[in-house]
Copies of this chain bind each other. A is one copy, B any other.
Amino acid sequence: MAEARTPQAGRDLDRIVFFSDAVFAIAITILVLDIRVPEGLSPAELPAQLLDLGPRYVSYVISFLVLAIYWQAHHKVFKPITGYDGAMVWLNVLFLMAVAFLPFPTSLLGEYSEEQISVVIYAVNAAVASLLLVAISWYATSNHRLVGPDLDDEENRIRRVQGLAVPVVFLLSIGVSFFSPIAAMYSWLLLSVTDPLLRRLWSRQ
């Protein structure tokens, strides 16, 4: 049974959003723990060893940006939502489980950056998380289940397509990884252009 936006439902919803934000903030801030300073080196060895950590800096930046994109996407999905029910709370828990797991494939990508298996595990994790966010969005907006009456249906349709673009990019990158793991990683950069691109394509129709 869904609870409509009464003051109490609003407070509960705030608590769900706050909890999600906190999980995002923690996951994004503990990424750095994976870049460990090598101990006991002589001054002469240090610069080369710090350069050797290169793939770990890259995976830090990638995951920071991916988590920031997901946080903002979560933000946009929850913006029109005015109520909640058990199913939505559980979809959100599963979404957060995938988000909080990302430091593991991040670490894998930093340690074994040229292996296909690292890229595939990362892409699967990211795709699962984004599909769960799509599921939250569809569940909440279908039949205006958990949103107010003033939801802009046209806008909502664009957002659904934009939301689907994220798992599509990650799943396609799995195919690319069979040819080149590095190229698959760079294909994730497409995420930075899908939102404006899809909006333009849409409005041209």
Could you give, for residues 1-37 of chain A, a 1 whenever the CB lies within 8 Å of some chain B CB and a 0 otherwise?
0000000100010010111011111111111110111
Question: Chain A binding site: helix, strand, loop or mixed by DSSP?
Answer: helix
Q: With A19-B21, A93-B68 known to touch, is A30 a contact of B28 (CB < 8 Å)?
A: no
Kindly identify which residue among B15, B93, B101 contacts A17, using a CB–CB cutoff of 8 Å. Answer: B15
Chain A residues within 8 Å of chain B by Cβ, number: 52
* Residue from A32, A33, A43, A103 with most neighbouring chain B CB atoms (10 Å): A32
Residues of B within 8 A of A64 (CB): 93, 97, 100
Contact between chains at A33 and B103 (CB < 8 Å) = yes
What residues make up the interface of A, taking CB atoms closer than 8 Å to B? 8, 12, 15, 17-19, 21-33, 35-37, 39, 41, 43, 46-47, 50, 60-61, 64-65, 68, 71-72, 75, 79, 89, 93, 96-97, 100-101, 103-104, 107-108, 111-112, 115, 117, 121
